[in-house]
Structure 1
Amino acid sequence: MEGVTEHNASLVVYLHPSKAKCVNEAILSELSSMLFTYSETFEGVVLGYDPNISSHLAKILPGIHPYFGVKLRAKMLVFNPMPNMVLEGEVVKITPQSIHAVVLRFSSAFIADEDIRDDFKHKIKRGNEVYVSRSNKKHKIKVGTTLRFTVKSFDEDILHISGSLAANNTGCAQWLDKNLDAWSQFDRTTKNRKNGEGEDKKPENDRLLMKREISSLENDEPVKNAKKNRKERG
């Protein structure tokens, strides 16, 4: 999935002197406090870490409480969704005006009615709310569906994603994977129609203009013949 990256980072963890006898545990505790929060250092939400503590040598910092810093390297797994990225999440709620999902089990995603393409129609089946594709009734979005959508924006403070289902490559991930040829062909056809709108008008205009010119020539011919006959009589 897009938006998830791995960073090889060089870190310095500052520990209280009381932690000197259990440095490893203290370092892991400090790294754990970074999980599922947005880090400006890594420009994303920290999902996981794999530290490599090569040495316990530390530098004592001056001050009233002489903390000491331990250097280490760590692999950091970071989540940073950007606009137009394609993400997946599990649908947890559906209403006539929106679809709600959870991404990576911690970040909420919201798709408003205005961002759901017209191909999807809201229905109630057997008491459950679903979105069904008009072009293919087997393409459904319901609670529990793995939803594939594009990112509009990401709120770093509350870890909330605003998404969109406007593109043809979005919807139920399972259906999209099974019917790759169907939706990709539909996507190409749609783009060709949009790109061809301006080109189709020109030949049509040319044909209309040609018809007018032919009609004008036909109407002028009797007038010219009448003038010629009058000259011959005179």
Structure 2
Amino acid sequence: MEVFKLSTANLVVYLHPSKAGNVPQAIRYELGKLLFKFNEVFDGVVLSYNGNVVGTNAKILPTTHPNETVEKQITNAKIRPSIHPYFGVRLKAKLLLFSPKPDMLIEGKVMKLGEELIHVVVLGFCSATIIEEDIRKDFRYKIKHGEEVYASTSERRHVIKVGSMVRFLVKSMDEDMLHISGSLLPPNTGSIKWLDKDEDLESERRVKKRKGESHKGMQVQGMGLLDKELLQNNDGSSKKSKRR
């Protein structure tokens, strides 16, 4: 599952005739209302859009009923709003959605931390909280040089502090508040700086191991060739000694 996804949608945007002079601007304004809000239809938070107009049609909202008498219409006219014509603009839009689900890994920036929790901001608009029980025991809360940090007891350089970019697991999400409950219990979570460095070191070890194995193989092959030459030389010299 991907935390980001693209969705193609067929939309209809309704515009007032006063906006007919600049339809593209009016469409952008209406679509802008979707941004950074969770949309149940698309099952995610809309981050961006790219829409192309397919067609337009005009409609008028009726304010009277065909069976009403003139007097009734006049009476109801005082209560009802005036006639509101509008344009329905059909769009084919591509939407970029942010759709975090449980057990997904996402990344964010640490804004605040304390002895009992870590506050993280994801993409600058979505907040996340990791409470003490969701922080693995490997991390210990410390005050180092006057700064609050979570330091790993097994990896001395693995430190989480304010400003650190962290990778954490999604437990749940409050779609109305755009708030995520996260976890640092899995071993592949923590400071991105450390995790990426650890992955680089591991890949470097693998490359060195492969190079060592290939070099050893070349040495063995070379030794085999040398042994053959030595055997041939030995055979030749022994034959010569027999003839003599």
Match of 2:121 in 1: 102
**% identical aligned pairs:** 54
Question: What's the CA shift string for 1:123-171, capped at 9, x where partnerless?
Answer: 0011110001111010010111111000000001110000000000000
Equivalent-residue separation in structure 2 for 1:47 and 1:97 (angstroms): 32
Match of 1:20 in 2: 20
For the 8 Å contact 2:58–2:85, the answer to whether it is kept is no
Equivalent-residue separation in structure 1 for 2:17 and 2:200 (angstroms): 62
For the 8 Å contact 1:61–1:69, the answer to whether it is kept is no
Shift of 1:52: 1.4
Question: What's the CA shift string for 1:190-232, capped at 9, x where partnerless?
Answer: xxxxxxxxxxxxxxxxxxxxxxxxxxxxxxxxxxxxxxxxxxx
Shift of 1:59: 3.3
Residue 43 (1) aligns with residue 32 (2): no
1:182–1:117 distance in 2 versus 1, CA, 3 Å: farther
Residue 65 (1) aligns with residue 84 (2): yes
TM-score under structure 1 normalisation?
Answer: 0.74
Equivalent-residue separation in structure 2 for 1:2 and 1:133 (angstroms): 29
| Aligned with 1:174 (options 193, 198, 201) | 193
Match of 2:147 in 1: 128
For the 8 Å contact 1:151–1:163, the answer to whether it is kept is yes
For the 8 Å contact 1:89–1:103, the answer to whether it is kept is yes
Q: How does 1:143-154 map to 2 (within 5 A)?
A: 143-154=162-173
Query: What are the ranges of 5 or more consecutive residues in structure 1 without an aligned counterpart?
Result: 184-234
Secondary structure of 1:25's counterpart equals helix
TM-score under structure 2 normalisation?
Answer: 0.71
Match of 2:208 in 1: none
Secondary structure of 1:67's counterpart equals strand
Equivalent-residue separation in structure 2 for 1:151 and 1:75 (angstroms): 26
Shift of 1:21: 1.2
Residue 85 (1) aligns with residue 104 (2): yes
Shift of 1:2: 3.8
1:118–1:59 distance in 2 versus 1, CA, 3 Å: same
Q: Count the aligned residue pairs.
A: 183
Equivalent-residue separation in structure 2 for 1:104 and 1:116 (angstroms): 22
Secondary structure of 2:22's counterpart equals helix
Secondary structure of 2:30's counterpart equals helix
Question: What's the CA shift string for 1:24-83, capped at 9, x where partnerless?
Answer: 11000000111111111111111111111244x323243331222100111111111100
Question: What's the CA shift string for 1:67-105, capped at 9, x where partnerless?
Answer: 221001111111111000000000000100001110000
| Aligned with 2:157 (options 133, 138, 142) | 138
Query: What are the ranges of 5 or more consecutive residues in structure 2 without an aligned counterpart?
Result: 63-82, 203-244
For the 8 Å contact 1:16–1:66, the answer to whether it is kept is yes
